[in-house]
Structure 1
Amino acid sequence: MHTLGMHFGPPVNADCSVDGTRMRRVQKPGDIDFVPAGMDGCWEDDADCQILRLSLRPSLLDEVAQELGKGAANIELLPWLQLRDTRIEAIGWAIKADLEANAPSDPLYIDLLTTALAVRLIEVATDRGLRVEGSRTLRMSTRQLKRLVEFIETNLDQKLHLTDLAKVADVSVTRLKALFRNSTGTPVHQYVIRRRIEYARALMTTTTMPASEIAVAAGFAHQSHMTSTMRRILGQTPGEIIRPSRKT
């Protein structure tokens, strides 16, 4: 497995060695180390060290590289010590926040973060920004988008994965993200979350279903997950939505 570590705790003095390269440094929040699969690394810190460690399948990077139109054989993954990259750091903080959250995110959101991390690692490895050709202007056809939206609506009560949506749209996983955003103006995971919320709110205002059943029907992990998501996005809890509608 490829291994990526992002330091997030207090600064520490570190002595690092990977594949014959050695570095002594002050390790600060946001510092990133990357060790390709098959290489050994050694770290010695002078104090307790807090690091987010992520492992990625080599086949994942190969698949993403292929979808980006760059052969995996042409990508040279080298070890990086104390890499500073704002995009990888932002993805790391997002993954850390999700791991620490009380309610799990949609699997779709994790799929997107994983793909984004793979894309950025390939960009850094090739030392130039690879982009899906024409991604800023390409959009889904009306038929593609209609088919995908209907699939999402029909399966809101299910766990939706990026690979499932890509198959429905008949595009690669990497292209789906750009195409959907260009077509709707909204990232695909945000669109799904918004549709779950709107469906749940409709059930609250038109039925007498218990909130726990509504949460399941709308695809939330549980009632608390639905409540926290609604509060974050709508600024209202289910109770605040139900009470006025039932008074009317």
Structure 2
Amino acid sequence: MPAGQEGGFEAETSFDTKEVRLSPAMLEGVASEIEGDIRARRFDTRHLLRDERIEYLVRALETDQKAGSPGGTLFAESVGVALAVRLLGLDDLETDRTVRLSDAQLKRVLDYVDAHLSEPLTIDTLSRIANASSSHLRTWFKAATGTTLHRYVLRRRVERARSLILESDLSTSEVAYLTGFAHQSHLAHWMRREIGQTPRSLRRTRPGK
């Protein structure tokens, strides 16, 4: 439903709902980045619309929130941008294959991520570093690296955490803080998922342990 409009329908059976709100500013930003002024497009309230891509994105967002939002702001913003693109009907357009991140742009993004792993990373910030729109950065980064921006950041955080655990006497909570995880249980969750080990099991592999 477009902002400011009312909508609803009568259901014959019980059902669950999931509500996701996108700010008008995000929709306007994505529209202007890709296809001019959003005012050129008309939005109508639609009921009983089924879209597998939207369902997938909402489920991913819900899973992240139930896990305590380990993906943080970057993941939520990335999902928001993807939803905005879908709602605008723009992801049916073929991406111009001649357009991509230059080597210099990609290096700036990778260097910035490595230098700021302990800090919250947002799609807005990384777009400015790359000098590209947020929607283009998402598409071009995956084309260049074979993985999503959010997944790349998580992997680099896990890799940094692994090095700190093996090479220092920092506590698990200190390692989590220095690598951008909300707390040590989030760190343990993603280490187990990415490398099949937890901070505790990894410490046992250190020489002399």
Same fold by TM-score greater than 0.5: yes
Question: Which deviates the most, 38-47 or 138-147?
Answer: 38-47
The 1:234–1:137 alpha-carbon spacing in structure 2 relative to 1, beyond 3 Å, is farther
Please name the residue that 1:67 is paired with. 33
With the length of structure 1 as denominator, give the TM-score of the two structures. Answer: 0.78
Alignment of 1:145-156 (within 5 A): 145-156=106-117
Please name the residue that 2:73 is paired with. 107
With the length of structure 2 as denominator, give the TM-score of the two structures. Answer: 0.92
Alignment of 1:218-237 (within 5 A): 218-237=179-198
Cα separation, 2, equivalents of 1:148 and 1:154: 10
Q: Supply the AA of the counterpart residue of 1:231.
A: R
The 1:89–1:118 alpha-carbon spacing in structure 2 relative to 1, beyond 3 Å, is same
Q: Which runs of 4+ in 1 moved over 3 A?
A: 42-49
The percent of aligned pairs where both chains have the same amino acid is: 36
1:5-61 alpha-carbon deviations (Å, 9 max, x no partner): xxxxxxxxxxxxxxxxxxxxxxxxxxxxxx112221234445654200111222221
Cα separation, 2, equivalents of 1:242 and 1:85: 45
- Alpha-carbon deviation of 1:142? 1.7
Greater RCO, 1 or 2 (C-alpha within 8 Å, sep 6+): 2
- Alpha-carbon deviation of 1:86? 0.6
Cα separation, 1, equivalents of 2:55 and 2:86: 11
- Alpha-carbon deviation of 1:85? 0.7
Cα separation, 2, equivalents of 1:103 and 1:164: 19
Cα separation, 1, equivalents of 2:83 and 2:127: 18
Two-structure CA RMSD over aligned residues (Å): 1.9
Alignment of 1:96-245 (within 5 A): 96-102=62-68, 104-123=70-89, 129-131=92-94, 133-134=95-96, 136-245=97-206
- Residue pair 2:127, 2:134 contacting (<8 A) in 1 also: yes
Q: Supply the AA of the counterpart residue of 1:237.
A: T
Equivalent position to 2:8, from 42, 49, 67: 42
Which structure is higher in strand share? 1
Cα separation, 1, equivalents of 2:161 and 2:70: 18
Cα separation, 2, equivalents of 1:46 and 1:81: 14
Cα separation, 1, equivalents of 2:79 and 2:71: 11
Query: Structure 1: where are the runs of 5+ without partners?
Result: 1-34
Cα separation, 1, equivalents of 2:62 and 2:92: 25
- Residue pair 2:71, 2:150 contacting (<8 A) in 1 also: no
Q: Supply the AA of the counterpart residue of 2:139.
A: A
Cα separation, 2, equivalents of 1:139 and 1:247: 48
Please name the residue that 1:30 is paired with. none
Cα separation, 2, equivalents of 1:180 and 1:47: 43
Which structure is higher in helix share? 2
| Bigger-Rg structure (1/2) | 1
The 1:47–1:82 alpha-carbon spacing in structure 2 relative to 1, beyond 3 Å, is closer
Please name the residue that 1:10 is paired with. none
- Residue pair 2:33, 2:133 contacting (<8 A) in 1 also: yes
Query: Structure 2: where are the runs of 5+ without partners?
Result: none
- Residue pair 1:140, 1:183 contacting (<8 A) in 2 also: yes
